[in-house]
Structure 1
Amino acid sequence: MDELKRAYEKMGLPENASKEEVDKRYTTLMRQSRARQRENPNGTEQADFEEVTRAYRYILDEDNRKASEAFNQQEYGKYKKMAGSAEKVDHFWRYYKFHVLGGIIAIILVIVGINSYLDHRAEQERLAKLPPVDLSVMYLGEYYMSDSAGKQTTEADIEAALVEQFPEFKRFKVNFTYVPLDAKDQMDIASQQKAMVVLATERPDVYITDTAAFNWVGPQGAFMNLDSQADIAKLLKPGDSYKQKTEEETAEHTYGIKLTGSPILGNIPIQAKDNYIASVREGSKNTEKAIQFIEKFLETKQ
């Protein structure tokens, strides 16, 4: 404390001088020193003022130290013997919290990535054990995945139901794409946009559409002309054929077959606002099975 006392004496101040008084005194001494240096450039005034500056800084450092001690006592005094440890932890967290949070987030991302990879591997192994897909079916229209009781279902439920109805097939792959006839809100618009992407990227063997979706997709040339399918033709009843013109074919041909009325539909957990119309994709590798699929619906119609 003798050094602090000497610092105040060097500045010509009592030890109880306030910080404002110390600052004001230092400014005064600085001006006086500059004036004397101008009068006597070769004098010792600069060296003397450097001592004043050191004294001033020492007083400020002591004030800061006391303020810090008071703050620490207020913040960490309640921890008593553990005050030092609490202070270190607080300082570490204050200065490195973003580093710590970033590290935690990075660890979480790594864990999520590993889990996703393991889940993907497990799914790939599960799919590898399944039999090959006999028929891929896309439901496109204002359909809802639910059973007759209104219980929500999944594409896997629909696939399982189809296998039960068509035991000659070992496996179905279902793509369910909801498309509202009239877009009433942003969600409906998003559904229509998604449907456009799905139609451009997915290539199912069979499309099952409602009337609006059939009229939308039919002219685009995605469906196979079914006029030459004699086995289907002999099972058709009035109103079962859905004809359409395409961009390349100006004459009307049968591109869709009405499935509505078949009891098979009641065993598949999908609800529709309109008809079920089956179409075969142009260029399908499973055309024969697709035709067989449609025939069974027609054979069971009332």
Structure 2
Amino acid sequence: MTENMTENQRERARNKELFKKMSSKEKLNYIWHYYRWHITGTILVVIFAISVISVMLEAQGADIYSTDVVMLGLVFTDERYEEQLQQFQETMDVNINILQNATSGDPEMVMANELLFMVSLIDNKADIMFLTQQKYETLVTDGEVFTPLNDIVELNEVFNLYELQTYNEDVYGIKLTTSPIDGIKFGEDLIVCISGHPKDLEHTVNTLNYLLEK
């Protein structure tokens, strides 16, 4: 049987046997090496599709808020959350969007929420971001994603109350060990940041100040 195989078939058979012997990490590296462009292309298509849907929903009259808050991490809500959300929306013109990250368990939900987060950035609906340490460190190296908080005089008073996250001598994040919003509980420490391009910087700063001074 082996003698009748073509060289390509023998090569595929060898690769298949080699793949079986790899560790999980080695398998991931192998898949990424050979299929990274396919994976990247698929992700971009999904992001584009979600973005189109988002634009369509907005065009149909979806609510637009002066400040959008996005939480990407291990975040839980209780029975008080819906009332708090309604209060933020109606009295402060602030919306809150909670997206579970990788530690939440379901890989498909994690991927969907990661994509939704990226769409939020693209659609300018992430004025204030609560992020995991890993996500923060991934994004902070891009100087356009976050606004340097040390440039915002109104936030100086809260700096002494929290652990600051710096990059290249600028403060880009504030570490929170507990949620500043009733009805929301953090399952891990999160870093709060301001978008590099908030829709309304003054409103966003006032909102963050309100949250941090509670």
For residues 193 and 297 of structure 1, the distance between their equivalents in structure 2, rounded to whole angstroms, comes to 24
Q: Which residue of 2 aligns with 1:173?
A: 95
For residues 173 and 278 of structure 1, the distance between their equivalents in structure 2, rounded to whole angstroms, comes to 15
Secondary structure of residue in 2 paired with 1:290: helix
The Cα shift of 1:142 comes to: 2.2
Give yes or no for the alignment of 1:235 onto 2:191.
Answer: no
CA contact (8 A) 2:177 2:186 kept: no
Give yes or no for the alignment of 1:187 onto 2:105.
Answer: no
Give yes or no for the alignment of 1:162 onto 2:79.
Answer: no
After superposition, the Cα gap between the structure-2 partners of 1:279 and 1:133, relative to the gap in structure 1 and judged at 3 Å, is: same
Give yes or no for the alignment of 1:142 onto 2:82.
Answer: no
Q: Which residue of 1 aligns with 2:127?
A: 205
TM-score, structure 2 as length reference: 0.57
For residues 233 and 206 of structure 1, the distance between their equivalents in structure 2, rounded to whole angstroms, comes to 17
Q: Which residue of 2 aligns with 1:23?
A: none
Aligned length in residues? 154
The Cα shift of 1:178 comes to: 1.8
Could you list the runs of 5+ residues in structure 1 that have no partner in the other structure? 1-119, 245-250
CA contact (8 A) 1:180 1:191 kept: no
> For residues 22-61 of structure 1, what are the structure 2 equivalents within 5 Å?
none
Give yes or no for the alignment of 1:133 onto 2:56.
Answer: no
Q: Which has the larger radius of gyration?
A: 1
The Cα shift of 1:223 comes to: 0.7
Give yes or no for the alignment of 1:258 onto 2:175.
Answer: yes
Instruction: Give the root-mean-square deviation of aligned CA atoms.
Output: 3.3
* 1:258-299 deviation line (CA, Å, top 9, x unaligned): 34457x42x1x3332112432111121311111111212332
Q: Which amino acid aligns with 2:202?
A: E
After superposition, the Cα gap between the structure-2 partners of 1:299 and 1:197, relative to the gap in structure 1 and judged at 3 Å, is: closer
CA contact (8 A) 1:241 1:257 kept: yes
Q: Which has the higher helix share?
A: 1
For residues 113 and 165 of structure 2, the distance between their equivalents in structure 1, rounded to whole angstroms, comes to 23
For residues 180 and 277 of structure 1, the distance between their equivalents in structure 2, rounded to whole angstroms, comes to 16
Q: 2:197 aligns with which of 273, 283, 291?
A: 283
TM-score, structure 1 as length reference: 0.42
After superposition, the Cα gap between the structure-2 partners of 1:184 and 1:176, relative to the gap in structure 1 and judged at 3 Å, is: closer
After superposition, the Cα gap between the structure-2 partners of 1:176 and 1:157, relative to the gap in structure 1 and judged at 3 Å, is: farther
For residues 193 and 235 of structure 1, the distance between their equivalents in structure 2, rounded to whole angstroms, comes to 30
**Which structure has the higher relative contact order (CA within 8 Å, separation 6+)?**
2
CA contact (8 A) 2:101 2:110 kept: no
For residues 238 and 276 of structure 1, the distance between their equivalents in structure 2, rounded to whole angstroms, comes to 15
Secondary structure of residue in 2 paired with 1:227: helix
